[in-house]
Structure formats: structure tokens, C-alpha cells
Amino acid sequence: MRKVKVGIIGTGNIGTDLLIKIQRSKFLECGIFVGRNADSEGIRRAELMGINTSCESIEAISKNPGLCEIVFDATSASVHLKNAPILKKLKKYTIDLTPSRIGKMCVPAINMKECLDVSNINLVTCGGQAAIPIMVAIMKVHPDTEYIELVSSIASKSAGSGTRLNIDEFTQTTIDAIESFTKVKKAKAIIILNPAEPPVLMHNTIYANIKKPNLARLKREVNKTANVIKKYVPGYKITLGPVFENDRVTTMIEVIGLGDYLPKYSGNLDIITCAAVNMAEEYAKRKLLSKTMNN
Amino acid sequence: MSEIIFFDSTLRDGSHAIGHQLSAGNIKEYCRQIDDAGLYTTIVGHGNGLGASSLQVGLSAITDKDMLKCARKELKKTKLGVFLIPGFGTINDDINPAIDVGVDLFCVATHCTEADVTRQHIEYLRKKNKETYGVLMMYHMTSKEKLVEEALKMQSYGAQGVIIMDSAGASTPEMVSDTVSYLSQNIEIKLGFHAHNNLGLAVANSLIAIQNGVLIIDGTLRGFGAGAGNCQLEVLIGLLLKIGISTNLDLYRMMDVSDNIVAKIMKKPQEISSISLISGIAGVFSGFANHVKQAAERFKVDPRDIFMELGKRKMVAGQEDFIVDVAMYLASKKGSEKESYDIESLL
């Protein structure tokens, strides 16, 4: 079967993890893997795998646009600001993994279909991917919830320089995405880098101010949503709740990574790359299907 | 040694001790009376800084903005300071509004090994011409060499000083002299020290820090602060007087504010409870104390065991949610196998 070609910009943790996941895909293949740093571990890995690489970053794609139909941008928010208009001109389906917020905010468990019809989608943040679908489920049961909060802690070792230098966008984008997807009046997001050794698993706690929660219904909705996410993020798990304590409903989520590039504790990396690959595959499936029908 | 400047965190660290329930009246009265005392800055806000009012750490009684407005009106000679931990507050939601209120000085804080997350905020504030200091919390969790590396990062971002915090009050006098002298020899910007009193050494360790080269002392009146509290500034000033180190502070004024205002704000006298002591031994953030007590009661486990387990797992400030996790874990283990948390096993 023919596969759809993808390009990856950014050879850091996220880009390299995407590359490894794509090797397994039935619908995708990597046409080009580009970055700025010729000495990066990612570029070395890609070359060993026989992948076409370049250190000219986006220029390599501009020069040779036939190498990919879908582009993942795993650079940084400020770099994506420059890349986005170029990719638009090249008519590439763009999946942005930085917290730039240029494209349509995408959380596959919530709005996958709509996101296939636009040219640039943004995957919010790892905390957003993990928590927002659960928050939407909670809001479905208790639509008058006025305040919801996320505490997302990730192992220090799994936060690359991109995440660190974008910590402010990372926090703000998560807050704004929670508010826009759930329609809650006020949201808060707290991001914590945990330096503990051995590294801790990605851990998310959701608090919602609900006076008289319908716990049975909440549990049902939360588990239903978790099962949808599990389909594309196998290591996703509700570890506690929803439980009612101190006048708030608490739910805890743990994400164990697939261990593709970084070790399994990096669930934060995995949840966003899994979501990205899931979107690319859906896009590719549609493309392949329409081609078959046209023939 | 009169060039030492004093950062007053009474209305910031003290906020932890009263569940972040500082009122507008508390802030106004305190700031009005302390303004003349000669302190370099009075830092005001939630215990974990701007944007930290949350279900996770505790909700403030009034908004950050209202707290800062109250303080701004009263502080004329002393700079109005705020504290911010990236990941809690953001430039858009928190820093810009604070600048609008007229905050003079910013402390951008992070765990001692994570200085690079302060880059955006320090650089942004320096561009706005705001006086900015970097803060490395829980300094006891890493080596002095690593601390220098992290402090130099903050220096390169434009921070005008770096304050190391003994957040868990886990320092011995030797740790302070060794770390402070090494740091002060290896960085160009001012070095500061923020003590906690879990092992009864906050004042002594602050003095040792001064004797080894720090130029900034961060403490609180009456020692008002998280857990066992902080370096009691008026006591330190008295001690400095006695050993012939002069400061430009008005000691009587500080004593009066301590007795007449801070004592009223405090719910109980600052003490070293067994919980605080154990957190100092375990090297766990003192601000966890109230959360640990609640979890211990709820899951019927010994709060000391929770602290020792948190220490083992190297939990850092902001991870209050893990306390419930640990309490549940300990509760589930109860009776099956008895793990020993004897002090001996730590040494």
C-alpha cells in the first residue's frame, strides 16, 4: 500500500520521537528529517536509519517540497511563527507541536474531524492533551462548574530546551486551551519540572470546584473519555478518582511513554507525539481513500 | 559590612503559615508601619508567588492584584517586591499586571537545578527595566558546583543577584559556610541567603552566610513563615549589633511592628513542631506541613512517615498532590510489611 510522506522539522526529543513512531506506521513514511544542528543526536539516529536528513531546516523543504505532504513542526513557538506562512504557501498539512497557537487548537479525543479540514493544527501542550478531554467530560456532567485547575508535573530530564525556553507559553497556552475547550469561566494550569532521580512518570492532577458532584456519572464519563485517549496513547491511565475531597473533585492521570526515543517516564513527550501521529494518520487515511476513489 | 541589604518576606513566606489568608487590612497596616524601618524591599503575595493561588497550594483570601495595590499605597521608601515561580505565574496573566500596579522588584524562583526556566521571565523583566533577582530554591538538594552553574545562568539572563533558599531548613552550619563561600567566589552578581528554622538554625545560618560573603539576607519579622518559619530579621539585626556589624535598620521599629502587627496576623506563635523538625531532617519543603497533616489524618498514617517518604521521593514545592498519593501508599502498606523510618536509617 502507498504511504503518505511526512517531513519533520526539529531534531530534538520531540522530532526524534516522532521519527521513530512513524517508522511503525502503516500509513506514513518519513520523507525528510530536518533541523539546524548537524551534531544533534536526532540527526545521527536518523542517518543510521537511512532517513533523508538536512541541516537547513525549513529551507530544505522549500527547495524540495515534493518530499512531504504533511509537516510536523517540533521546533519552538518563535520558530514556528516563521515557519507557518512558508508551510501554508507550500500547502502542507501542518501539525505544530510547539505552543505557538497559530493553528487550530487540536485535541484528537475532542475535535479530530474538524482539525482535518484546516491547514495548520496546534497540539496545545502535553498537559493540555492529557487533561482537557477529561475536563470536557467533567463539564459535560456539571456544566455550571466555575473553576477548574490542572497541575502537570513532568520529569526534569524529559523537558528539553524547547520546553524550558517556552515555559511561559507552555503555561499560558494550557490555561487558554482549557478555557476555550471546556468553556469554564476560569481555569488555572501549573507546570512543574520534577528533578527527582530516578525520574518520575508524567503526572497530572485535575481539580474541579463542584459542590454536589454526581460521582457515578462523572466516573462513567471520565472512563469513557480515557478509553478514547488510550486508543492513540496506550500508556494513558486514570490513577485516582474522580473522588470528592475538600469540596473539590480530584482526578489523577499518569502517562507512561512507549519508550520510543526517551525512556518510559517521558509520558509528556509520548502523549503529544502520539496525538500528532494519530492526526497525521487520519489525514493520510483520508487522502489515500480519496485517491483510491478518484482512480 | 553595612552594604548588606535585607529582603523582607514577612508578607510572602508568612502567607504559607496562615493558609494564604492575608487580608487587605493586614497588608496595609504592615506596610504603613514597616516602610520607615530601612528594609530594602518588602515582598508581598501568596506564599508561592504570583499566580500561585490555587486548589493545589491554597487559595489566597484576596487577589494578587489587590494585595499589591494595598502595599503599593503604603510603601514609599521600601521597594515593593513580588515573587514568581515560572510554571505558576505567566508574563501575560501575572507579570504584566504586577508591573501595571507599580511593583519595583521581582524575584524569579525555581528549583535549584532548573535555572533555565527563569530565562524568559528574567530577560523580559530586565528589558522592562525592572530590578530582578534569581532565586534557587531547595539549594540543599544539589552540589555547590551545580549551584554555581545555575547561578551563572541567571547572571547571564540579566539577574542582578541570586538568592539561594534553604527551603526545607535542612542546612547545617557547615553546609552554609561551604556553599556560600564557594558561590560568592564564583559569581559576579550579589549573592543572597534565605533560611528556614527547621533545625533551629535560621538566624545562625544567616549570620554564617553573611560571614562567608552574602550581601542579601532574606528573612521575616517574628520568623513568620512556612513550617518552622524563617530567619527572624529583628533577632539577626540584634545579633549583628552585638558583634559589631552595623546596619541602617531601625531595630526598635522592627520590634514594634513584630509585636504589634505581625503577632496579630499570626494564628499561633512560630514554633518548631515535630513535623517541621522531621521535614528539616528529611529535607522536604516546609510548606508541605499543613497538607501532610490533613493527608495523615484522612488516611490514618503517621505524618512523620509521610515526610520521610516524600524526602525519599525527592518531592519539590508545588507537588502537593503527591502527598495524598504517598499517604495512600503508606496506608495500603500498613500492617503488611513495616518499613522503618528510624532516624538512624537516614544517616
Interface contacts (A, B; CB < 8 Å)? 92
Element housing A205 (H / E)? strand A202-208
Q: Is the pLDDT of residue A290 over 90?
A: no
Most confident range (mean pLDDT) of A55-59, A264-268, B1-5, B101-105 is B101-105
d(CA A84, CA A70) in angstroms, rounded, equals 13
B244 or A196, higher pLDDT? B244
B197, B190, B187, B263: which is closest to B29 by C-alpha? B263
Query: With an 8 Å Cβ cutoff, is B127 touching chain A?
Result: no
Helix segments in B158-250, DSSP class H: 173-186, 202-211, 233-242
B101, B81, B91: which is closest to B216 by C-alpha? B81
Range B318-339 average pLDDT: 73
Residues 6+ apart with CB under 8 A from A23: A30, A49
Residues of B tagged active-site: 16
Judged by CB atoms closer than 8 Å, whether chains meet at A165 and B120 is answered as yes
Q: How far is B152 from chain A (nearest CA, A)?
A: 16
Nearest-Cα residue of chain A relative to residue B291: A246
Q: Is the pLDDT of residue B140 over 80?
A: yes
Q: How far is B290 from chain A (nearest CA, A)?
A: 13
At the second CATH level, the architecture of A4-123+271-294 is: 3-Layer(aba) Sandwich (3.40)
Q: What angle do CA A43, A49, A50 make, to 5 degrees?
A: 90
Q: Output phi, psi for B232, to 5 deg.
A: -75, 105
The three state secondary structure string of A66-124 is HHCCEEEECCCHHHHHHHHHHHHHCCCEEEECCCCCCCEECCHHHHHHHHCCCCEEECC
Q: Is the pLDDT of residue A22 over 60?
A: yes
Question: Are the beta carbons of B108 and B121 closer than 8 angstroms?
Answer: yes
Judged by CB atoms closer than 8 Å, whether chains meet at B55 and A207 is answered as yes
Range A14-30 average pLDDT: 93
Chain B neighbors of A205, CB-CB under 8 A: 56, 321
A254, A276, A278: which is closest to A266 by C-alpha? A254
Q: For A180, which DSSP code?
A: H
Of A30, A106, A115, A126, the catalytic one is A126
Q: What is the pLDDT of residue B339?
A: 43
Nearest to B90 among A149, A171, A246 (CB): A171
The three state secondary structure string of B65-113 is HHHHHHHHHHCCCCEEEEEECECCECHHHHHHHHHHHCCCEEEEEEECC
Range B232-250 average pLDDT: 94
d(CA B106, CA B112) in angstroms, rounded, equals 18
Interface of B with A in 141-180 (CB under 8 A): 141
Nearest to B114 among A193, A200, A205 (CB): A193
Q: Is the pLDDT of residue A106 over 80?
A: yes
Q: Is the pLDDT of residue A179 over 70?
A: yes
Query: With an 8 Å Cβ cutoff, is A178 touching chain B?
Result: no
CATH of B5-265, one of 3.60.15.10, 3.20.20.70, 3.40.50.300, 3.40.47.10: 3.20.20.70
Residues 6+ apart with CB under 8 A from A269: A13, A14, A17, A126, A158, A257, A261, A262
Query: With an 8 Å Cβ cutoff, is B298 touching chain A?
Result: yes
Q: What is the pLDDT of residue B335?
A: 52
Chain A neighbors of B319, CB-CB under 8 A: 153, 192, 194
Judged by CB atoms closer than 8 Å, whether chains meet at B322 and A151 is answered as no
Q: What is the pLDDT of residue A53?
A: 83
Nearest to B87 among A147, A190, A196 (CB): A190
Q: Is the pLDDT of residue B238 over 80?
A: yes
Chain B neighbors of A149, CB-CB under 8 A: 54-56
Helix segments in chain A, DSSP class H: 13-24, 41-48, 58-63, 77-89, 108-115, 126-141, 161-165, 167-182, 215-232, 267-294
Q: Tell me the pLDDT band of A294, cut-offs 50, 70 and 90.
A: low
Residue A8's DSSP bridge partners are A33, A72
pLDDT above 90 coverage of chain B, percent: 76
Judged by CB atoms closer than 8 Å, whether chains meet at A196 and B313 is answered as yes
ipTM of the predicted structure?
A: 0.84
**Interface test with chain A among B93, B111, B112, B117, by most A beta carbons within 10 Å:** B117
Q: Tell me the pLDDT band of B317, cut-offs 50, 70 and 90.
A: low
B154 or B331, higher pLDDT? B154
Q: Which of A18-27, A56-65, A195-204, A285-294 has the lowest mean pLDDT?
A: A285-294
Q: Tell me the pLDDT band of B334, cut-offs 50, 70 and 90.
A: low
How many other C-beta atoms lie within 10 A of the C-beta of residue A47?
Answer: 12
| Upper half-sphere CA count for residue B206 (Cβ side, 13 Å) | 30
Q: What is the pLDDT of residue B347?
A: 37
Classify A270 in phi/psi space as left (phi over 0), alpha (psi -120 to 50) or beta: alpha
Nearest to B119 among A165, A246, A248 (CB): A165
Query: With an 8 Å Cβ cutoff, is B262 touching chain A?
Result: no
Q: Is the pLDDT of residue B27 over 50?
A: yes
Query: With an 8 Å Cβ cutoff, is A55 touching chain B?
Result: no
Query: With an 8 Å Cβ cutoff, is B290 touching chain A?
Result: no
Chain B neighbors of A198, CB-CB under 8 A: none
Chain A neighbors of B114, CB-CB under 8 A: 156, 164, 193, 195
Mapped onto helix, strand or coil, the DSSP state of residue B337 is coil
Q: How far is CA B297 from the centre of its chain?
A: 26
Q: Is the pLDDT of residue A282 over 90?
A: yes
Chain A neighbors of B51, CB-CB under 8 A: 188
By DSSP bridging, strand B190-194 and strand B216-219 are: parallel
Range B127-147 average pLDDT: 95
Q: Output phi, psi for B272, to 5 deg.
A: -100, 95
**Domain range annotation of chain A:** 4-123+271-294, 126-266
Question: Are the beta carbons of B249 and B215 closer than 8 angstroms?
Answer: no
Q: Is the peptide bond before A242 cis (omega within 30 degrees of 0)?
A: yes
Q: What is the pLDDT of residue B338?
A: 43
- Helix B173-186 vs helix B144-157: crossing angle, to nearest 10: 40
Interface of A with B in 241-260 (CB under 8 A): 245-246, 248, 250, 252
Look-up of cell digits 517518604 = B309
Q: Tell me the pLDDT band of B115, cut-offs 50, 70 and 90.
A: very high
Range B321-344 average pLDDT: 66
Range A249-269 average pLDDT: 89
Mapped onto helix, strand or coil, the DSSP state of residue B150 is helix
DSSP annotation string for B4-50: -EEEE-HHHHHHHHTTT---HHHHHHHHHHHTTS--SEEE-S-TT-T
Range B120-146 average pLDDT: 96
Q: Is the pLDDT of residue B342 over 60?
A: no
Q: Is the pLDDT of residue B331 over 70?
A: yes
B107 or B286, higher pLDDT? B107
d(CA A69, CA A86) in angstroms, rounded, equals 14
Nearest to B113 among A168, A195, A252 (CB): A195
How many other C-beta atoms lie within 10 A of the C-beta of residue A249?
Answer: 25
Q: Counting runs of H as helices and runs of E as strands, what totals does chain B give? A: 15, 8
Q: What angle do CA B254, B260, B262 make, to 5 degrees?
A: 75
Nearest-Cα residue of chain B relative to residue A190: B88
Q: How far is A195 from chain B (nearest CA, A)?
A: 7
Question: Are the beta carbons of B73 and B99 closer than 8 angstroms?
Answer: no
Q: What is the pLDDT of residue A56?
A: 86
Mapped onto helix, strand or coil, the DSSP state of residue A38 is coil
From residue A190, give the alpha-carbon distance in Å to each of A109, A150, B16, B110: 22, 6, 18, 13
Judged by CB atoms closer than 8 Å, whether chains meet at A205 and B321 is answered as yes
Question: Are the beta carbons of B338 and A216 closer than 8 angstroms?
Answer: no
By DSSP bridging, strand B131-137 and strand A202-208 are: unpaired
Nearest-Cα residue of chain B relative to residue A168: B90
What fold, for B274-346?
Answer: Helicase, Ruva Protein; domain 3 (1.10.8)
Question: Are the beta carbons of B255 and B210 closer than 8 angstroms?
Answer: no
Judged by CB atoms closer than 8 Å, whether chains meet at A153 and B93 is answered as no
Q: Tell me the pLDDT band of A292, cut-offs 50, 70 and 90.
A: low
| pLDDT tens per residue across span B142-185 | 999 999 999 999 999 999 999 999 998 999 999 999 999 999 99
Nearest-Cα residue of chain A relative to residue B113: A195
**Domain range annotation of chain B:** 5-265, 274-346
Chain A neighbors of B125, CB-CB under 8 A: none
Judged by CB atoms closer than 8 Å, whether chains meet at A188 and B325 is answered as no
Q: What is the pLDDT of residue B136?
A: 97
Q: What is the pLDDT of residue A33?
A: 93
d(CA B89, CA A194) in angstroms, rounded, equals 17
- Is A126 known to be catalytic? yes
Query: With an 8 Å Cβ cutoff, is A3 touching chain B?
Result: no
Q: What angle do CA A165, A253, A176 make, to 5 degrees?
A: 45
What fold, for A126-266?
Answer: Dihydrodipicolinate Reductase; domain 2 (3.30.360)
Sheet of strand A186-194: strand arrangement = A186-194, A147-155, A202-208, A248-255, A236-245
Question: Are the beta carbons of B75 and B31 closer than 8 angstroms?
Answer: yes
